[in-house]
Structure 1
Amino acid sequence: MENTKNSSLSKIIPVMFCFFAMGFVDLVGIASNYVKQDLGLSDAQANIFPSLVFFWFLIFSVPTGMLMNRIGQRKTVLLSLMITFISLLLPIFGDGYMLMLVSFSLLGIGNALMQTSLNPLLSNIVRGDRLASSLTFGQFVKAIASFLAPFIAMWGATQVIPSLGLGWRVLFPIYMIIAVIAILLLNATQIEEEKEEGKPSTFGQCLALLGKPFILLCFLGIMCHVGIDVGANTTAPKILMERLGMSLYDATSATSFYFISRTFGCLLGTLILRLMSPKSFFGFSVIMMLVAMVGLFIFHDKTMIYTCIALIGFGNSNVFSVIFSQALLYLPGKKNEVSGLMIMGLFGGTVFPLAMGVASDAIGQNGAVAVMTIGVLYLLFFTFRIRK
């Protein structure tokens, strides 16, 4: 029994390093604010960056599910890490508009492959009722990378030796080194993968799974989750700058605070999901976010705004894990295809920021909050469809 536990741990550690690398995609929130400042962009123009990152989830997620049927989940994760490495290498050479567009595109493509393949890869190590809590722990590790990004960017903007010429972009080579470590660890780890039932699905057959009502509801739920996530970490500094006149440097702390709250929520959720039903905890989390959205409409006090940001971060921290595990358990014989569809739902990270950028340019940051609130209301509806 002890040897089995040690064997599982030796496999989980490299996978968790990959979850950390998965969190690199969240640097796009704070990076878009710095690029906006450096290049003098509008909200709508700056929000193209996070939207572009998540656009690739629409294109690559389902094909990645099919790719996994051919080369396996572990090799697909390794491929995703290589693409992520290249995306982090490019900004070292400059911060021009086109260069950053290419970098963020590759970051999105790599992350689409990673999120599609890494979650089902973990399900080969951890099974059954423990899957939701294990996925949540993976999200906790991912969130560590997310909340460190704004701190590293701030440190680079103010403290790094000027001769390096990187400034806030020092974030990219630091994360690039960690990506290399993840590649080496996973490459040295062998994981026995479950075989798919029947013949591998075609592209059309994968999309046809959306015809199952519960899978479609899960897909839309993932869209709303990531839309709220990207929207909150991108918009939080803008709310402080608009309402309190804070500088970008000072307001950046709101993004870090959001990710700290999300990280704490993931850690606590790992424990709570072992004691409470996913449906009850999901409903509690959504109510927290709804209260926070109402608060962001009415409060102009720094403490209250930060409290609302914390509630969104904590509430949204376990939404993905619950929805994803529900979808996998609903069709256990089609893990690769279901994973591809669920990760395609991360396209919500494109739809929401674009809508929020247009709304905020028109009526201020309350417009962005209104768009996020629509997503929260859908998740409230979804709560009643979760199986106990």
Structure 2
Amino acid sequence: MKKIHPKIVLPVLFSFLIVSFVDLVGTGVDELKQSSETPAYLLQLIPFVAFIWFFLLSVPAGIWQSKVGKKKVLSLSILITAIGLFVPVIGNTLPVILLSFSLLGIGNTIMQVSANPLLMDVVPDEKASGFLSFSQFIKSLGSMIGPYVAAVVGPLIAQSIGFEGEGAWRFGLYLFGAISVLAFVWLSYTSINEEQTDSTQVSFSSCLQLLGNKYIALMVLGIFAIVGVDVAINSNIGAFLQLKIGVEEEAAKYGKTVYFFAKMIGTFIGGVILMKGNASKFLKVSALLALIFVLTLTMVENAVAAWVLIGLVSLGVSNVFPLIFSITVGQYPARSNEISGLMMMAISGGAIFPFLVSLAMEYHLNGGLWVIFGLLLYILLLTILKPTKL
């Protein structure tokens, strides 16, 4: 039976703070919206270039890590992320920010392919769901402080060194880049014994063949849906609060902070419950609550009620990703590299649904919420129909 060794578990958990930095896409959208005349829907290119890499690189990363090991792949991904965070030193233009978030997306793709199964390698099997939820708590902590660091700490750093140009928010990215370098060094000097799989069986073909398994295919679509919900809310919540509720632009930017603060609380509570609780039942309750809160959000016009409901939606969706991941890998532990690659590929939902939600809001103020409602309805049906393991 595996035991928990803090000196091994902690640097792996810390890597999930680095995973959170990709959620700065929402901040990138808001900041460039203030400093350029680029249409709002074109600014959704920022989450697109960050999350499309999950579709392109996840399966190859899963194959690669089966040959060289999860820790090596995770270390390299953190380094790529650090480079991406320092790229905006070139400028505050849309092309530069797109390049920066492309590198963040590449690093984040590889990072999530390796970090999730590596964490499962270093904790007891019966506590895997709990630790994965706790890892999402760490990610949510980073996501929550990200907008504050960019909007407040970044300009303070810029002011302290006498920088007076446009885009002072970028100094927050440099701070996160320095943290990424520290995470790289810490993990590099940590010795980890990984659970071995038969790398000779892992190929691009073997990964895609797993989609012929109805159970795995439907669960992968669940990841596609929940990440679409998460990123769409992150990158569109400010516009929603402005257009429908009438919240001022500066205050609306912190809608994502409320969302990620509630998500942080939700993942912490989920991590505690799932150390002993039933993952399947918890997934059903989470999806149902999120669905109810989104439906209610379409009906409100009061600012306080909207802020509260945003937090409640976040509580509902906070544990869905780690639950789907851990439940599926728990059914097929010997195929963890391939499943991880497929599920991380499904994170490309974060590249597609922000566009759809933003466009839907152009036609109707609640249009984006109805798209999110549909995605959550699929996840709820997934828990009710219970696709059987083949």
What interval of TM-score do these two structures reach, taking the shorter chain for normalisation?
A: over 0.9
Deviation at 1:284, TM superposition (A): 1.4
State the Cα deviation string for residues 64-89 of structure 1 (Å, max 9, x = none).
00110121100000110111011101
Code of the aligned partner of 1:81: I
Please state whether the residue corresponding to 2:201 is helix, strand or coil.
Answer: coil
Could you tell me the percent identity over the aligned residues? 33
**Counterpart residue identity of residue 134, structure 2:** F
Tell me the distance in 2 between the aligned counterparts of 1:167 and 1:302: 29
Q: Cα RMSD over matched residues? A: 1.9
8 A contact 1:279–1:383 mirrored in 2:
yes
Q: Deviations over 1:146-204 (max 9, x none)?
A: 00011112214764544324422222011001101100100000111111136232111
Does the 8 Å CA contact 2:66/2:199 hold for their aligned counterparts? no
Q: Show structure 2 runs of 5+ residues with no match.
A: none
**Structure 1 CA distance, aligned partners of 2:145 and 2:223?**
24
In the alignment, which residue of structure 2 is the partner of 1:35? 32
Aligned to 1:230: 231
Paired with 1:157 and 1:4, the residues of 2 have a C-alpha distance of 41
Question: What is the SS of the residue equivalent to 1:194?
Answer: coil
Q: Is the 8 A contact 1:324 1:342 kept in 2?
A: yes
Q: 1:274 to 1:13 in 2, by over 3 A?
A: closer
- CA shift at 1:40, angstroms? 1.9
CA distance in 1, matches of 2:143, 2:388: 30
Q: How does 1:80-229 map to 2 (within 5 A)?
A: 80-156=77-153, 159-162=156-159, 163-164=162-163, 165=165, 166-197=167-198, 199-229=200-230
CA distance 1:348–1:110, change in 2 (3 Å)? same
Q: 2:48 aligns with which of 30, 47, 51?
A: 51
SS of the counterpart of 1:40? coil
Aligned AA (1:205) = S
The Cα of 1:55 is off from its aligned counterpart by 0.4
- Relative distance call for 1:21 and 1:161 in structure 2 (3 A) is closer
Equivalent in the alignment of 1:22: 19
Change (3 A) 1:123 1:157: closer
Q: Which stretches in structure 1 are left out of the alignment for 5+ residues? A: none
Q: Residue 235 of structure 1: CA displacement?
A: 1.9
Change (3 A) 1:198 1:62: closer
Task: Report the Cα offset of residue 352 of structure 1.
Answer: 0.6
Mean Cα deviation higher: 191-200 or 254-263: 191-200
Aligned length: 384
DSSP 3-state at the match of 2:275: coil
Matches of 2:19 and 2:286, distance apart in 1: 23
2:75 is equivalent to residue 78 of structure 1: yes
Q: Which residue of 2 aligns with 1:265?
A: 266
TM, length-normalised to structure 1: 0.95
Shift of 1:319: 0.3
